[in-house]
Structure 1
């Protein structure tokens, strides 16, 4: 567990995540409404947010192929990140970073950096030596990833729909880090 003042970071089990679906949904809902490009476009309801955690994240936690880290402030989930390590037999050395989220009210406090540091610790504990991720080109997270030692492989243009303007297509930057 990592702590930043009143922020505690720990891994949530599948059971804990299921019990906290409402908190997790509120986090991703706030992030999408603040412009985060994390697979969703507006309008985006709390029901859709709950379905994401229930249908897309919980199955990986249940089978042990993913780690969900949560940053909490006085019992409130204010950030999360996922480590997907359910890889094929020829890739037991790598994992994928997914959905780094920090609630808009809690940004600029080092929470994202602490989540990523803890994620890398978990990856090492799983004998993973290569982490990959993608982020919207020019997004707030891109400089963070670079400062943590992630290297850019390239940019894929017109990769995803913009969360606010469904007619606009954003690029994504593909990054990696060797641990």
Structure 2
């Protein structure tokens, strides 16, 4: 298959304007990368949690990681539905992610939870920005998908914040 046929094989018809679709796809790909990075960070903290509230925090972070992971495929598939190409590799994730990695050997429970509060707040903000791009492109389906994920992200932020209140 020549290069033109390969490109044509991935084309997806859409009634959305091309320029709007490109902007939506770009914003969604950044969210996919962020979700991968936030998933890994959340699992990292889940695996390396310590302290007297270990079990509670361990389970909380596992639940949150599962929720984050569940957003990745629908976001990536939305990119494809509107005719875009999505994440292809870990390297591509690293290029696009806005979630800051944490490779420290030890992070205390309070620092872990506070870091995740901040990352989830940023994630919600980035989702709202993507929602605006979708609105501008008249992409109701993407906007609707993001509304649920914004709510879930805000809930994760709330739970993490409330959990940090009893830590010194």
Whether TM-score is above 0.5 comes out as no
Answer 1 or 2: which has greater strand percent: 1
* TM-score, structure 1 normalization: 0.28
* TM-score, structure 2 normalization: 0.30
Answer 1 or 2: which has greater helix percent: 2
Higher relative contact order at CA 8 Å, sep ≥6: structure 1 or structure 2? 2
The structure with the larger Rg is 2
